[in-house]
Amino acid sequence: DFGLDTTETEWEQVLDCWKLFSDYVNHLRFYKCKINERQIESFLCSCTSLVSLTVDFCDCADGDTDTVCDLINLVSVTHLEIKDTGHSPYSTDKALIKLTNFMPKLVHLSLSLIGVDNIPEYNLDSQMLPRPEYNIVRRIVEPKFATIVSISVDRNCISRDQLICLLKEPDLRLTSLKLYQYDIVDDAVIDTIATHQTEIVHLFINICYISTEHFDLLCRHLEKLVTFHFYGTLSDSCWLESLKYFKELRTLIIKDLNLHNFSNFPEPTILQRWLDKPRDIQLTHLDIGFSFRDDLSQPTLNIAKMCLRFVASRLLKLTFLRLSLCPLDENLFREITTNLINLVVLRVPMCNISDDALTGLEHMETDASKPPLHLLKRLTELDLSYNQVTDVSLESAFTFCSLKKLSLRNCYRITDCGLVNLSVQPESFKRCIEELDLSFTNVTDLGLSKLLPELKRLRVLNLK
């Protein structure tokens, strides 16, 4: 992994050292380097076992850029990722096509911000798109339909129409697709994915607007989906009903849900009947982020809470749960921590969690089937950032011994007294903690002097 701002002479020195071990390198990454195409090829020529190549945000260095050798060693490369701002060694068609021609076994292609130099009138501020004749993605992928199964692109390297045509290719059988930025993702693209790329296992869609009808169509057709990351806006929140079609889904990430759209949600009685239906949902990773606002009406909040109650009552196999900007009250937080006994990671930043939600758990009945937070034996990471937690919670809420990572970032009500409370926790707790984030809290060196000597295994301490 190179991240060097070096001169021509210095690169030659690095290259001499590189040749001593380059035969053993499988993964090579250049990050924010000042390097040109010829210099990169000098490194690649001596690689005989390279599997993945990444060139991220590099600036093209001055000097000779003529090819120094044939890149026949790249025949084993299966993963290529290029990110740039239009000034990298591979920001031109010629250089990029030449590089990929030496990769007949390419499986994964990731391109971001490619082509800025190829479009003289391109202006990042005015959000101009590639010209119709500019189709670098297709030129790379077309000769490799037999091997390419994973593509990641943004609007700067492919247009919406070009993307639709590419996805309709009968010889292209994707298992992974990542699409960034709203200009290339709409209902037509979603329809194309649903009808022509049904083998997709991992789907990432960032910044877009999709109607519920087309979202439902996507869910119906992509039965093999294991990972689904959606960051955008749905016309309403009937997406919850569509989850039933995902038979193999394990990881679901839904970000930026607008609670105001919940006005189009089914009647609460209908939703309640649906929640009561038994379902065997295999989801293990869930990440939901709402666009929460204080001026939401009570009915809207109630329906949002019903969605979260679905999480607590039906997704019982979750091991990873992140809820951000969610309207969590004490009872709802209790339901989540009581029912999801397999949780390993629980992240609830900006959810308005108070001491009542945390310390109140101590007084619950310790039924083995519904343990409170301190009986979640598998929990190793807890993120309470940006919540209303105070020193009171640090006195009794963290008595379980499995916790390795604790974040109290921006819990500004926490003071030195809270650190003293942590310092007298059971030895089992103090022996486990490896990472602690106290950024933007009101602690001082006085509290730290009490706590730090007790945390024998602490590796990471954040005090921003």
137 within 8 A of 100, measured Cβ to Cβ: no
State how far the Cα of 384 lies from the Cα of 187, in Å rounded to an integer: 37
Residue 20 has pLDDT above 50, yes or no: yes
Quick one: average pLDDT of 353-366?
Answer: 66
Phi, psi (rounded to 5 degrees) for 142: -55, -45
Quick one: average pLDDT of 346-370?
Answer: 69
Say which range, 34-38, 121-125, 245-249, has the weakest mean pLDDT: 121-125
State how far the Cα of 325 lies from the Cα of 255, in Å rounded to an integer: 10
Pairing mode, strands 150-154 and 176-180? parallel
Write down the pLDDT at residue 362: 45
DSSP symbol at 316: T
When pLDDT is cut at 50, 70 and 90, the band that residue 359 belongs to is: confident
Write down the pLDDT at residue 364: 47
Phi, psi (rounded to 5 degrees) for 30: -110, 120
Quick one: average pLDDT of 381-404?
Answer: 86
The rounded percent of the chain whose pLDDT value lies above 70 is 76
Whole-number average pLDDT of the chain: 80
Write down the pLDDT at residue 370: 40
Quick one: average pLDDT of 305-312?
Answer: 78
Listed in sequence order, the DSSP H helices in 21-108 are 37-45, 93-101
CB atoms within 10 A of CB 67: 12
Segment 115-163, tens digit of pLDDT: 544 444 444 444 444 444 557 888 889 888 889 999 998 877 888 888 9
Phi, psi (rounded to 5 degrees) for 412: -70, -10
Say which range, 39-43, 60-64, 417-421, has the weakest mean pLDDT: 60-64
Write down the pLDDT at residue 119: 43
More confident residue, 73 or 344: 344
Phi, psi (rounded to 5 degrees) for 44: -65, -30
Residue 261 has pLDDT above 70, yes or no: no
The rounded percent of the chain whose pLDDT value lies above 90 is 31
At 202, is the secondary structure helix, strand, or coil?
Answer: strand
Write down the pLDDT at residue 300: 63
Write down the pLDDT at residue 372: 53
Segment 283-298, tens digit of pLDDT: 889 888 766 555 556 6
Most confident range (mean pLDDT) of 37-41, 275-279, 346-350 is 346-350
Listed in sequence order, the DSSP H helices in 315-376 are 330-339, 355-359
Write down the pLDDT at residue 294: 58
What distances in angstroms separate CA 213 from CA 210, 217, 261, 350, 406, one per listed residue?
Answer: 8, 6, 15, 31, 41
Write down the pLDDT at residue 32: 83
Say which range, 12-21, 191-200, 306-315, 369-378, has the weakest mean pLDDT: 369-378
What distances in angstroms separate CA 397 from CA 320, 339, 389, 401, 424, one per listed residue?
Answer: 20, 17, 11, 11, 13
Residues in CB range of 238: below 8 A, 6 or more apart: 212, 216, 264, 265, 266
